[in-house]
Amino acid sequence: MPPPADIVKVAIEWPGAFPKLMEIDQKKPLSAIIKEVCEGWSLGSPENFALQIADATNFYITEKNRSDIKNGSILRLTTSPYQTAVQLHERIQSSSMDAKLEALKDLANASRDITFAQEFINLDGISLLTQMVESGTERYQKLQKIMKPCFGDLLSFTLTAFVELMDHSIVSWDTFSVAFIKKIASFVNKTAMDTAVLQRSLAILESMVLNSQDLYHKVAQEITIGQLIPHLQGTDQDIQTYTIAVINALFLKAPEEKRQYDEHIVDILNCPLTEMAHILAQKQLRSIILSNVIRSNTPINDEMAHQLYVLQVLNFNLLEDRMMTKMDPQDQAQRDIIFELRRIAFDVELEPNNSGSIEKRKSMYTRDYKKLGFINHVNPAVDFTQIPPGMLALDNMLYFARHHQDAYIRIVLENSSREDKHECPFGRSSIELTKMLCEILKVGELPSENCHDFHPMFFTHDRAFEEFFCICIQLLNKTWKEMRATSEDFNKVMQVVREQIMRALTAKPNSLDQFKSRLQNLSYTEILKIRQSERMNQEDFQSRPILELREKIQPEIMELIKQQRLNRLCEGTCFRKISSRRRQDKFWYCRLSPNHKVLHYGDLEESPQGEVPHDSLQDKLPVADIKAVITGKDCPHMKEKGALKQNKEVLELAFSVLYESDEYLNFIAPDKHEYCVWTDGLNALLGKEMTSEYTKSDMDTLLSMEMKLRLLDLENIQIPEAPPPIPKEPSNYDFVYDCN
């Protein structure tokens, strides 16, 4: 009879005593269980004790989390959270440096538990730690030179404990003094600082900014970009990650007016981080992140990828203001931009107001605006009143016209020379393309907490979005020509262009040039091929009857693959012997008996030509004695002393058969195909699943062929029982053309 669900069997440890095996009734109060445990070891004052999970976390068991205790759990009897908090509160104030250091180390570990954290905070522990940071560092300033490692550890564990306690969100961040902020900022601003201290200090600054608008202003005045850049130029990716996290936090919390780009700020390195747009737009920071982080030899971990993604999103969000700004048709400065587009395209100077009749000038402007592809030929300013993309589209067009002038002129003149029906309207295309790019890059949306989707190419140029637009507008014009599109096909072209851009971005190109090259390979013809292939693989095979047919056929195909594998084992394979010292040209052969009950194997003098008969193989291994099949580095012949020198290729071809208690038959397959055949075949003999990549490939191929055969429309078609006869040879071969 199974034990009741509320009873769990655990082991409980107590220092200096043998662990006890106990049954805990989850219905009983935790205090009663602790009292019972204390009585078993003759310990008084059970209220001063508590139970912990005996693992690396050392979390306290409470009424809230006691349901996590499972059968077989190991618990530890220890002092209660309150008693531990009181003891540590006293110990960290010790006059002995060594005692203080040990106490802070224990506090840093204990602070991860919210039960302990609550008790320590109730003793005003946070205030004590901040005082130690503010004044304690100066007290030990003289000791720093002679006891630098100890000083670094002391400060590191103090800050670690502080971070762990604050992470529980029990205390508000708004309670901290300016002196404490200045002290933390000073650790960041120092060029030579202990790595652990620097990391914790950056983490504290990030949390301050994200959790308090008031602290944002104070932190932003203490940190400059010049002080953060050295941390990005180092090789420690954790420090780089925390540094970018601080920049992201300040940027995220910056007021709207502080985010906008100001070309008149000259002192870049010493400007406060409140001028966020300027810092992100200026070349030095971007190039440092590109060269020292993105293109460094260290692989980018998930946390760094997330911070780069956040930085990318916040940088693009600077465009939101222009994206949501309508053009004022009466604003002369804005209208001058349209005049500039016309001037560059048609190489005309602005005519004075008294030149020619008003009607003639209007007619000329209307003609040119039509060639430029605006929807409203009379007053193109009206085209930019749609938000999004608003004025951002006009900014992109002007950037393209000025920085890629030849391409701009070619596109405009090329389309103006086509028939009205086939011209690709540059103005309309630019507006819709800008809107599409904003949607793809999610301009204006806050960064996701779990996303790591950053694109290295956007860190390679100071005006990445504008350059991105320039590449895509040329793509749009190219795709328009490939599709032989007319004005009625405008939306279809935009859909194809969107697909081309999305597919190119999926490859995560490292530069804008790579992105451009990727787009060259994604022509309209290629997109059609991809669509057709995906339609065959997805749409046609996703309906319920088709899925049911696949499920019905799958076991038959798997059985066919199994039989093929076993037939190959019956044919046998020649394996090369490899010693731990050197490769030797000695061979051995192994094959399965026709009744699938015995493995025959034996040594050979040389590589055989064809199959080796069973009689010549001296050794036998009954299949019934096989316990398991082991692969890769877990094989005993790969664990031998010399096996460490084996290359990765050999490891991937190694497998062993375990039989009896600890006896092994060791194999190294001649190639990957034979490895898959034998591991699949042996697993099939043991009644286990065949999991090799060749099995998956064979399953996909055979299942696809079988599905297509069964779905052929064969109504009223006679399928012969026997294959058709082979026709007689022709009387002569005079019809054969001799290529020579």
Band (582; pLDDT cuts 50, 70, 90): very low
Q: Is the pLDDT of residue 660 over 70?
A: yes
pLDDT number for residue 357? 67
Half-sphere exposure of 497 (CA within 13 A, CB side): 30
Strand order in the sheet with 573-578: 573-578, 583-592, 598-604, 619-622
Q: Are 269 and 226 in contact (CB under 8 A)?
A: yes
Q: Is the pLDDT of residue 350 over 70?
A: no
* Mean pLDDT confidence for 493-517: 94
Q: Are 670 and 573 in contact (CB under 8 A)?
A: yes
* Mean pLDDT confidence for 76-85: 93
pLDDT number for residue 146? 45
Beta-carbon contacts of 182 under 8 Å, excluding residues fewer than 6 positions away, are: 222
Report pLDDT digits (tens) over 565-577.
999 999 999 888 7
Q: Report the alpha-carbon distance of residue 341 to residue 361 in Å, rounded.
A: 17
* Mean pLDDT confidence for 576-589: 63
Q: Report the alpha-carbon distance of residue 616 to residue 630 in Å, rounded.
A: 27
Beta-strand relationship, 619-622 and 49-53: unpaired
* Residue 205, token pair as written in the block: 């600054």
Q: Are 695 and 545 in contact (CB under 8 A)?
A: no
pTM, two decimal places: 0.68
* Residue 174, token pair as written in the block: 């708004």
Domain boundaries along the sequence of the chain: 7-79, 146-322, 329-535, 556-698
Q: State the DSSP string of 45-90.
A: -GGGEEEEESSSS-PBP-TTTGGG--TT-EEEEEE-HHHHHHHHHH
Q: Is the pLDDT of residue 11 over 90?
A: yes
Q: Is the pLDDT of residue 641 over 50?
A: no
Highest mean pLDDT among 82-96, 416-430, 707-721: 82-96
Report pLDDT digits (tens) over 14-53.
988 888 899 888 889 999 999 999 988 888 899 999 999 8
In single-letter form, the type of residue at position 161 comes to A
Q: Hey, what's the torsion of the CAs at 50, 54, 56, 62, to 10 degrees?
A: -40
* Mean pLDDT confidence for 655-661: 85
Report pLDDT digits (tens) over 523-562.
999 998 888 777 766 655 667 777 888 889 999 999 999 9
| CATH 1.10.10.10 given to domain 556-698 | no
Q: How far is CA 26 from CA 55, 66, 132, in A?
A: 21, 8, 43
Report pLDDT digits (tens) over 164-177.
999 998 998 888 88
Q: State the DSSP string of 26-42.
A: TTS-HHHHHHHHHHHTT
Q: Is the pLDDT of residue 57 over 90?
A: no
Report pLDDT digits (tens) over 332-345.
888 889 999 999 98
Share the mean pLDDT of the chain: 84
Band (638; pLDDT cuts 50, 70, 90): confident
Considering the domain 7-79, what is its CATH architecture? Answer: Roll (3.10)
* Mean pLDDT confidence for 654-681: 88
pLDDT number for residue 145? 47
Choose between 713 and 490: higher pLDDT: 490
SS3 assignment for 538-556: CHHHCCHHHHHHHHHHHHH
Q: Is the pLDDT of residue 645 over 70?
A: no
* Mean pLDDT confidence for 221-236: 86
Report pLDDT digits (tens) over 125-147.
999 999 988 875 555 455 444 44
Q: Is the pLDDT of residue 360 over 80?
A: no
pLDDT number for residue 595? 92
Q: How far is CA 631 from CA 659, 682, 704, in A?
A: 15, 12, 30
Q: Are 336 and 388 in contact (CB under 8 A)?
A: no
Phi-psi bin for 14: left (phi > 0), alpha (psi -120 to 50), beta? beta
Report pLDDT digits (tens) over 390-424.
999 999 999 999 999 999 999 998 888 776 677 88
CATH topology of domain 146-322: Leucine-rich Repeat Variant (1.25.10)
Q: Report the alpha-carbon distance of residue 11 to residue 483 in Å, rounded.
A: 73
Report pLDDT digits (tens) over 254-294.
876 555 544 333 344 444 544 554 554 456 788 899 999 99
pLDDT number for residue 269? 45
- Among candidate residues 643, 599, 645, the one with its CA nearest the CA of residue 618: 599
